[in-house]
C-alpha cells in the first residue's frame, strides 16, 4: 500500500509518500492509519479524535474514493496495491464534494 501526502500533511511527515507492505493480517484503513501514527507520531492529532474516530474534516481517499461513503468506513479492507491519499484538514467549514449541494433559492421549485 502506498500513502501519498499532500499540502500540510506532507509538511507534517516530511515526505511525499510512504510504503506499507502489510499490517500483520489486519489490512484495514484504520490499521494502516494506526501504523502510520507509529512512524509519524505528530500526525495523530490531525487524524483521530479522543475516541480514536477519524476526524470528519480530514480528507482521506482510497483509490480516489472517500472511505466514509463505504459501508465499513475506516474499517474497510485494503489491498496491497491500494493508494491512500491524505490531504490537509479542511479549516474553513466542512465540505464533502461527493454530497449533492443544497439547491440555491432560485433553483428550488
The structure's pTM equals: 0.75
Per-residue pLDDT of 44-99, as tens digits, reads 888 888 888 888 888 999 999 999 888 998 899 998 899 999 998 765 544 444 33
Question: Looking at the domain assignment, is residue 103 inside a domain?
Answer: no
Comparison of pLDDT for 36 and 101, the residue scoring more: 36
Per-residue pLDDT at 101 exceeds 60: no
The 3-class SS string of the chain reads CEEEECCHHHHHHCCCEEECCCCCCCCEHHHHHHHHHHHCHHHHHHHECCCCCECCCCCEEECCECHHHCCCHHHCECCCCCEEEECCCCCCCCCCCCCCCCCCHHHCC
Q: Which residues contact 10 (CB under 8 A, 6 or more apart)?
A: 16
Question: Looking at the domain assignment, is residue 8 inside a domain?
Answer: yes
Comparison of pLDDT for 23 and 61, the residue scoring more: 61
Question: Looking at the domain assignment, is residue 60 inside a domain?
Answer: yes
Q: Which residue range forms the structural domain that includes residue 53?
A: 2-96
Domain containing 80 — which CATH number?
3.10.20.30
Residue 92 is predicted with a pLDDT of 52
Per-residue pLDDT at 29 exceeds 80: yes
Residue 104 is predicted with a pLDDT of 46
| Total count of domains within the chain | 1
Question: Looking at the domain assignment, is residue 32 inside a domain?
Answer: yes
Question: Looking at the domain assignment, is residue 63 inside a domain?
Answer: yes
Amino acid at each position: 500500500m502506498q500513502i501519498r501526502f499532500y499540502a500540510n500533511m506532507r509538511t507534517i511527515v516530511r515526505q511525499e509518500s510512504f510504503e506499507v507492505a502489510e499490517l500483520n493480517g489486519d489490512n484495514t484503513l484504520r490499521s494502516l492509519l494506526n501504523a502510520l501514527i507509529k512512524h509519524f507520531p505528530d500526525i495523530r492529532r490531525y487524524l483521530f479524535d479522543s475516541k480514536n474516530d477519524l476526524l470528519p474534516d480530514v480528507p482521506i481517499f482510497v483509490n480516489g474514493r472517500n472511505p466514509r461513503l463505504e459501508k465499513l468506513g475506516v474499517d474497510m479492507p485494503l489491498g496491497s496495491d491500494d493508494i491512500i491519499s491524505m490531504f490537509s484538514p479542511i479549516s474553513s467549514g466542512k465540505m464533502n464534494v461527493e454530497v449533492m449541494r443544497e439547491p440555491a433559492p432560485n433553483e428550488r421549485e
